[in-house]
Amino acid sequence: MQMVESQRRDCQDPISALFFPTMNLHTTGRFPAYRPRRLRQSLALRRMVAETRLSVESLVWPLFVCAGSRVRKPIGAMPGVFQLSVDELVKEATQAHQLGVPAVLLFGIPKTKDARASGAYAQNGIVQQATRALKKELPTLMIITDVCLCEYMEHGHCGLVAKNDQTGRVLNDPSLDLLARTAVSHAEAGADIVAPSDMMDGRVRAIREGLDQKGLSDIPIMSYAAKYASAFYGPFREAAESAPHFGDRRSYQMDPPNANEAMREVALDIEEGADIVMVKPALSYLDILYRVKTEFGYPTAAYAVSAEYSMIKAAGANGWINEQAVQMEALLSMRRAGADILITYAAPDVARWLKG
Ligand code: PBG
């Protein structure tokens, strides 16, 4: 039987039907009664009907902290980004916080690395020191710490590698305890949220249990739930000095062709106790972001990774694009796709631009 026009118009995808039961083609007028251009005529009008907005409250600024004092080491592949010693980090974070940036995400570059990543969970490790200093100076700044072992491992992988194994096979279960210890030591130093980025299976549960056992059950976990093995991390590995010395990360980070698998990763992390789930990278994975938000409805973060930042910076510096406009548009696309939280190296710039 042929569908009549009104029935055909009622067809919509099941997800939208669930969340927006009245949103179907009946609610849209027809030309010439309906002219979409009417609501685009002035800035005030466009702003009033804007469906999504960028606001400073959703920004998280990633920072790289290193040993020493008065250190500001520029990252060649990330113009405007530095490795900072704790004293300089506090200065930078103070400025960003004054601009309204509510949170930072800390990565540590330790003085020495070893085969058990002991710097990651050392009580006086670099992230732990930075966390204490920031908490003291800026009690209202939220401190999120990246929980991973790669920056602290002599081989640069995100988990333990069997002795004398040069194939880069990363051992899953034995790494979990080290990750949990790292998260606990960050929280004990004052971290407000811990963010595991290692992609070992089961790490959210291990971290949740580790925190709970120490009476830290109020510390949320923001898991890098759908983290892809991406070439867009290139500049970061210079910044964090964390490139693997052999092999690559494809045996633990997600394979870029897969989307359904990302839903399983997110489901697993939520079941294990994740409070916020992240999709990373952002711009090339907006479909994943959209699905994660619509299918789970959890607080969702998008990580605009190093190359996403560097490409915009480079093209802007060459005069090929308008850096500010492109940066804002890229971040807006992440909000539109469903991100509540935007992790971006451009956070202070964006905060400034939003102030106008
Ligand atoms: C560490 C980690 C990485 C990033 C965040 N945490 C690098 C990697 O997985 O190789 C990437 C961030 C970026 O590119 O901005 N596991």
Q: What is the pLDDT of residue 14?
A: 58
Compute, in degrees rounded to 10, the torsion defined by CA atoms 339, 343, 347, 353: -20
The structure's pTM equals: 0.92
Q: In tens digits, what is the pLDDT along the chain, a chain of 356 residues?
A: 344 444 444 445 556 556 655 555 567 889 999 999 999 999 999 999 999 999 999 999 999 999 999 999 999 999 999 999 999 999 999 999 999 999 999 999 999 999 999 999 999 999 999 999 999 999 999 999 999 999 999 999 999 998 877 777 899 999 999 999 999 999 999 999 999 999 999 999 999 999 999 999 999 999 999 999 999 999 998 888 888 988 899 999 999 999 999 999 999 999 999 999 999 999 999 999 999 999 999 999 999 999 999 999 999 999 999 999 999 999 999 999 999 999 999 999 999 999 98
Contact 207, 221 (CB under 8 A): yes
Q: What is the pLDDT of residue 259?
A: 98
CA 15 to ligand 1 center in whole angstroms: 32
Q: Is 91 a catalytic site residue?
A: no
Q: How many residues does the chain have?
A: 356
Q: What is the pLDDT of residue 163?
A: 82
CA 111 to ligand 1 center in whole angstroms: 19
Cα-Cα-Cα-Cα dihedral sign, residues 151, 153, 154, 158: negative
Q: What is the pLDDT of residue 183?
A: 98
Q: Is 73 a catalytic site residue?
A: no
Q: Whose CA is nearest to atom 11 of ligand 1?
A: 233
Q: What is the pLDDT of residue 5?
A: 44
Q: What is the pLDDT of residue 21?
A: 55
Contact 217, 289 (CB under 8 A): no
Within 10 Å of residue 306's Cβ, how many Cβ atoms? Answer: 25
Domains in the chain, start-ordered, CATH in brackets?
56-355 (3.20.20.70)
Burial of 182 from C-beta contacts in 10 A (0-12 / 13-18 / 19+): buried
User: What are the pocket residues of ligand 1 if the criterion is a CB atom closer than 6 Å to any ligand atom?
Assistant: 146, 148, 150, 158, 197-198, 233, 236-237, 249, 305-306
